[in-house]
Chains A and B, each alone.
Chain A
Amino acid sequence: MSTLSEVRSRISLPNQKYLPVLATLSLLALMYGIGAANYEAFGDAQVVLNVFIDNGFLLVVAVGMTFVILTGGIDLSVGSVVALTTMLSASLLEERGWPAFVVLPLVLLVGSALGFGMGCIIHYFDIQPFIVTLAGMFLARGLCYTIGTSSIPIDDPFWVSMAQSRIRFGEYFVSPSVVVAIIVVLIAAFVLAYTRLGRNTYAIGGNPRSALLMGLPVARTKIAVYTISGFCSALGGVLLSFYMLSGYGLHAVGMELDAIAAVVIGGTLLTGGSGYVLGTLLGVLVLGVIQTLITFDGRLSSWWTKIVIGALLFVFILLQRVITARKR
């Protein structure tokens, strides 16, 4: 038996399960290097920080999505919940004049409640997450329009200070939203790796039937991940409303796809059970850097922009695939 275990430990190198993440990270670095070589101002570290500033809300949303996808589910409602949050915050703050410390928890609660509701329907009535969250998407977007169809500016002092204050170190700066997003990532990484909730999430993604038969709290976990996703969407919405200082029913259209793409590019399997929040962070950065590359170039027409985004995505995923396949 001793040789056997030797063979096995030789086969499963400790870092093997992190390989996709490492591959993504190195490709990302490569992409940044190419950008820095081609565009003068690209090498500036502030460009990287700007990617964080510009994608903090997406990051938070994608973290929530990671939980859902890890269970093998999907949440299409995130973009709409983001929009609803901005709209709700704006209308409560500006049209009702409610104070920020009431509005903030309230909108987070609304987002979580929506997620909770969808989770319950998905679990108890055994309906595919795709349609339930699609209905949730229609609902949240529809609620936005019932609040109003035009965009509402926010000038609540708290919101404005969150939007415009900068956390500086030397000549570089980030926005408070970035700090919030990073904290969310850290908490999520901890929850997934070190708590029962996190491990149950992976277990359900691995095999839901087994998870049930192993006596894991499937109901609680499934509902919890959709609630988390709802919460993260709402938090993302708050960050977006910091970013934009406005509420609008057409904000974050299609953000669910960005979030899903970020999660999947980060190496998480859409079938569930495998992936890391760190990967999601990298996925968001990949999308952000691609976009930055294109604005720095500034010569592409609208359609070439799309084609180039697709092509870069393709090259990236192809390389990622090649690297991980060879090492396996």
Chain B
Amino acid sequence: MTGISKEFPGVKALSDVDFRLLPGEVHALMGENGAGKSTLIKVLTGVYDIDQGQITLDGTDVRFSGPLQAQHAGISTVYQEVNLCPNLSVAENIFIGREPRRFGKIQWSQMEKRAAELLKRLQLDIDVSAQLSTYSLAVQQMVAIARAIDISAKVLILDEPTSSLDASEVEQLFRVMRQLKEEGVAILFVTHFLDQVFTISDRITVLRNGRLVGEYITRELSLIDLVGKMIGKELEVLEQLEEQPKPALAALERGQPLIEAQDLGRKGAVAPFNLTIHKGEVVGLAGLLGSGRTEVARLIYGADKADQGQLLVDGKPVAMRGPRSAMGHDIAFCSENRRTEGLIEELTVRENIILAMQAVRGWTRPIPRRRQDELVDKYIKALDIRPANPEAIVRNLSGGNQQKVLLARWLITEPRLLILDEPTRGIDIGAKTEIQRLVAALSDGGMAVLFVSAELEEVLRLSHKIAVLRDRHLIAELANDDEVDADRIMETIASGARA
């Protein structure tokens, strides 16, 4: 690709970018949120028209009219947001468009068999005939990956495939990627996890503000240099990141727990569990993919109705009739799937940010426009949302920036308990540190936080206490003291012992 430019009304997403991808390499495309990575991929695969520039595949000029054509030309893509059909089964989502057929008739049983085998290759053992929407986002991400790698293509493009995967799933993915690389497939890989870049990639291309910064051999680039190239200034950020201390456990005064779950559970979702959260406490949830972290969070918020046990707020049992009553008790929940459960994509950044706050006030008491602008401006700055235009339509924001908008929505409600389910999904390191700092600051200020993240490091860094889940059971609660680290938690999960 040479000289690629792409402009959206008001935004120059790409200007004069060159990019090349060689067979048998893993090429990482790096850049901050909104740098233009996803746009480059969409331009390449024909989702968007190019304003300017040229694309060459195997020496011939090409210009695809859409993903279908790109696929025919041997380019298989996993786009950033999970783009699958929630109403179809897992097996279908993997094979649709390429179903095994006999005389034009789809062979369902064969399809399901092959899907199950394929997912086994990624160490995922699920019922492939179930509807996709019944699975968590992480599983959906794996399914999307499975779909892409099964299309035996010359080029495989993965746009932030690992944003909600655990270490072990990432490991599986990398194993498969290496295998494909051996076979000569060219792989384009986008991620915000720097360690993953250094583990898997051969070369790195860095974008900044829609412009090409440069192309580098991974071996020759240090972590510090890479970050510098991405954000374009010197690296206080990274330093901060490293020096952040574990939260001081002792400093917490234990009074009455703010929230107490007693045998709270829901059939088919999560087994009854006990959990207490104090004022100013950050509680992390750890577990493997599908272990029930999201379910725990949703039950406490009342997004799903519990069918057993009770929830105490300030020591008093409360009837959770849904998100509304949770919000009435100053509980906020930032969900993991921003697209289906978070943002209202047609609305503007401003509207999305004030939505929850407005919902609490009711429709008759609109937040004065001046106050809206103040709040929104503050968080656009604090989280570095780009473009910094409160009237931009959220659909047009880059993935990471959308996530920040969602986060801002809940931060402005100033809850007593903030439930964050994968809040840093798809966010670049700069913003991630910012968010982590924010969480720490908020908890210092007395806010309790329930923190769920696939990135164990992050959980460890922030939490006072870590609850460990396995197979939808809460099996342990560990105080996050010096003895606790990632290995210890993995051990706990593996042994499955109940604390």
- Is the beta-carbon distance between A207 and B86 smaller than 8 angstroms? yes
Cα distance A214–B84 in the bound complex, in angstroms: 7
- Is the beta-carbon distance between A196 and B83 smaller than 8 angstroms? no
Decide yes or no whether A86 CB sits under 8 A from chain B: no
In the assembled complex, which residues on chain A have CB atoms less than 8 Å from the CB atom of B85?
202-203, 206-207, 210-211, 214, 273
Decide yes or no whether B170 CB sits under 8 A from chain A: no
Find A8's partner among B47, B68, B104, B126 (CB 8 Å cutoff).
B126
A 181-218 binary contact with B (CB < 8 Å = 1; else 0): 00000000000011110011011011101111111111
Q: Please choose the segment from B19-27, B55-63, B91-99, B368-376 that sits at the chain A interface, where 4 or more of its residues have CB less than 8 A away.
A: B91-99
In the assembled complex, which residues on chain A have CB atoms less than 8 Å from the CB atom of B67?
212-215
User: Can you name the residue of chain A whose Cβ is closest to the Cβ of B107?
Assistant: A194
Find B106's partner among A7, A195, A209 (CB 8 Å cutoff).
A195
Cα distance A28–B127 in the bound complex, in angstroms: 33
Do A3 and B471 contact each other (CB < 8 Å), given the known contacts A199-B106, A200-B97, A215-B97?
yes
User: Which residues of B in the span 17-72 have a Cβ within 8 Å of any Cβ on A?
Assistant: 47, 66-68, 70-71
Cα distance A88–B87 in the bound complex, in angstroms: 41
Do A215 and B68 contact each other (CB < 8 Å), given the known contacts A5-B125, A273-B85?
yes
- Is the beta-carbon distance between B87 and A273 smaller than 8 angstroms? yes
In the assembled complex, which residues on chain B have CB atoms less than 8 Å from the CB atom of A318?
none
In the assembled complex, which residues on chain B have CB atoms less than 8 Å from the CB atom of A195?
104-106
Cα distance A41–B16 in the bound complex, in angstroms: 80
Do A214 and B106 contact each other (CB < 8 Å), given the known contacts A4-B472, A9-B127, A196-B99?
no
Decide yes or no whether B268 CB sits under 8 A from chain A: yes
In the assembled complex, which residues on chain B have CB atoms less than 8 Å from the CB atom of A7?
268, 472
Cα distance A211–B84 in the bound complex, in angstroms: 7
Q: With both chains docked as a complex, state the minimum distance between the C-beta of A186 and any C-beta of chain B, in angstroms.
A: 14
B 321-347 binary contact with A (CB < 8 Å = 1; else 0): 000000000000000000000000000
In the assembled complex, which residues on chain A have CB atoms less than 8 Å from the CB atom of B92?
199, 203
- Is the beta-carbon distance between B104 and A210 smaller than 8 angstroms? no
User: Which residues of A in the span 142-160 have a Cβ within 8 Å of any Cβ on B?
Assistant: none
Decide yes or no whether A301 CB sits under 8 A from chain B: no
Cα distance A200–B99 in the bound complex, in angstroms: 11
- Is the beta-carbon distance between A206 and B66 smaller than 8 angstroms? no
User: Can you name the residue of chain A whose Cβ is closest to the Cβ of B473?
Assistant: A3
Decide yes or no whether A1 CB sits under 8 A from chain B: yes
- Is the beta-carbon distance between A199 and B127 smaller than 8 angstroms? no
- Is the beta-carbon distance between B97 and A214 smaller than 8 angstroms? yes
User: Which residues of B in the span 211-261 have a Cβ within 8 Å of any Cβ on A?
Assistant: none
Decide yes or no whether A12 CB sits under 8 A from chain B: yes
Q: With both chains docked as a complex, state the minimum distance between the C-beta of A15 and any C-beta of chain B, in angstroms.
A: 12
- Is the beta-carbon distance between A214 and B96 smaller than 8 angstroms? yes
In the assembled complex, which residues on chain A have CB atoms less than 8 Å from the CB atom of B79?
213
- Is the beta-carbon distance between B83 and A213 smaller than 8 angstroms? yes
Q: With both chains docked as a complex, state the minimum distance between the C-beta of A6 and any C-beta of chain B, in angstroms.
A: 10
Main secondary structure of the interface of A (DSSP, over half): helix
- Is the beta-carbon distance between B105 and A274 smaller than 8 angstroms? no
In the assembled complex, which residues on chain A have CB atoms less than 8 Å from the CB atom of B404?
none
Q: With both chains docked as a complex, state the minimum distance between the C-beta of A267 and any C-beta of chain B, in angstroms.
A: 13
Cα distance A282–B124 in the bound complex, in angstroms: 39
User: Can you name the residue of chain B whose Cβ is closest to the Cβ of A205?
Assistant: B87
In the assembled complex, which residues on chain B have CB atoms less than 8 Å from the CB atom of A194?
105-106, 108
- Is the beta-carbon distance between A274 and B87 smaller than 8 angstroms? yes
In the assembled complex, which residues on chain A have CB atoms less than 8 Å from the CB atom of B104?
195
Decide yes or no whether A96 CB sits under 8 A from chain B: no
User: Can you name the residue of chain A whose Cβ is closest to the Cβ of B82?
Assistant: A210
- Is the beta-carbon distance between A2 and B125 smaller than 8 angstroms? yes
Decide yes or no whether A11 CB sits under 8 A from chain B: yes
Decide yes or no whether A10 CB sits under 8 A from chain B: yes
- Is the beta-carbon distance between B125 and A203 smaller than 8 angstroms? no
In the assembled complex, which residues on chain A have CB atoms less than 8 Å from the CB atom of B479?
none
- Is the beta-carbon distance between A212 and B99 smaller than 8 angstroms? no
- Is the beta-carbon distance between B71 and A215 smaller than 8 angstroms? yes
Q: With both chains docked as a complex, state the minimum distance between the C-beta of A243 and any C-beta of chain B, in angstroms.
A: 33
User: Can you name the residue of chain B whose Cβ is closest to the Cβ of A203?
Assistant: B85
- Is the beta-carbon distance between B88 and A216 smaller than 8 angstroms? no
Decide yes or no whether B484 CB sits under 8 A from chain A: no
Q: Which of A2, A5, A194 has the most CB of B within 10 A?
A: A194
Decide yes or no whether B184 CB sits under 8 A from chain A: no
User: Which residues of A in the span 88-127 have a Cβ within 8 Å of any Cβ on B?
Assistant: none
Decide yes or no whether B290 CB sits under 8 A from chain A: yes
- Is the beta-carbon distance between B88 and A206 smaller than 8 angstroms? yes
- Is the beta-carbon distance between B47 and A213 smaller than 8 angstroms? yes
- Is the beta-carbon distance between B83 and A210 smaller than 8 angstroms? yes
- Is the beta-carbon distance between B68 and A5 smaller than 8 angstroms? no
B 105-123 binary contact with A (CB < 8 Å = 1; else 0): 1101000000000000000
- Is the beta-carbon distance between B127 and A8 smaller than 8 angstroms? yes
Q: With both chains docked as a complex, state the minimum distance between the C-beta of A270 and any C-beta of chain B, in angstroms.
A: 14
In the assembled complex, which residues on chain A have CB atoms less than 8 Å from the CB atom of B472?
3-4, 7
Decide yes or no whether B278 CB sits under 8 A from chain A: no
B 121-146 binary contact with A (CB < 8 Å = 1; else 0): 00001110111001000000000000
User: Can you name the residue of chain B whose Cβ is closest to the Cβ of A275?
Assistant: B87
Cα distance A12–B472 in the bound complex, in angstroms: 17
User: Can you name the residue of chain A whose Cβ is closest to the Cβ of B271?
Assistant: A7
Cα distance A218–B87 in the bound complex, in angstroms: 16
User: Which residues of A in the span 4-45 have a Cβ within 8 Å of any Cβ on B?
Assistant: 4-5, 7-12, 17
In the assembled complex, which residues on chain B have CB atoms less than 8 Å from the CB atom of A212?
47, 66-67
- Is the beta-carbon distance between B97 and A5 smaller than 8 angstroms? no
Find B83's partner among A4, A200, A214, A273 (CB 8 Å cutoff).
A214
- Is the beta-carbon distance between A199 and B96 smaller than 8 angstroms? yes
In the assembled complex, which residues on chain B have CB atoms less than 8 Å from the CB atom of A207?
83-87
A 202-243 binary contact with B (CB < 8 Å = 1; else 0): 110111011111111110000000000000000000000000
Decide yes or no whether B432 CB sits under 8 A from chain A: no
Decide yes or no whether B147 CB sits under 8 A from chain A: yes
Q: With both chains docked as a complex, state the minimum distance between the C-beta of B306 and any C-beta of chain A, in angstroms.
A: 17
- Is the beta-carbon distance between B134 and A12 smaller than 8 angstroms? yes
B 448-492 binary contact with A (CB < 8 Å = 1; else 0): 000000000000000000000001100000000000000000000
Query: What would 17 A/B residue contacts be, using CB atoms closer than 8 Å?
Result: A3-B471, A7-B268, A7-B472, A8-B127, A10-B268, A11-B268, A12-B131, A195-B104, A196-B106, A202-B88, A203-B85, A203-B88, A203-B96, A206-B87, A212-B66, A214-B147, A274-B87
Known: A3-B471, A207-B86. 17 other contacts (CB 8 A): A5-B126, A8-B127, A8-B130, A8-B134, A9-B127, A11-B134, A17-B131, A193-B106, A194-B108, A196-B106, A199-B92, A199-B96, A203-B88, A207-B85, A213-B79, A214-B96, A214-B147
Chain B interface (Cβ < 8 Å from any Cβ of A): 47, 66-68, 70-71, 77, 79, 83-88, 92, 96-97, 99, 101, 104-106, 108, 125-127, 129-131, 134, 147, 268, 290, 471-472
Closest 3 pairs (CB-CB, A-B): A206-B85, A206-B87, A215-B71
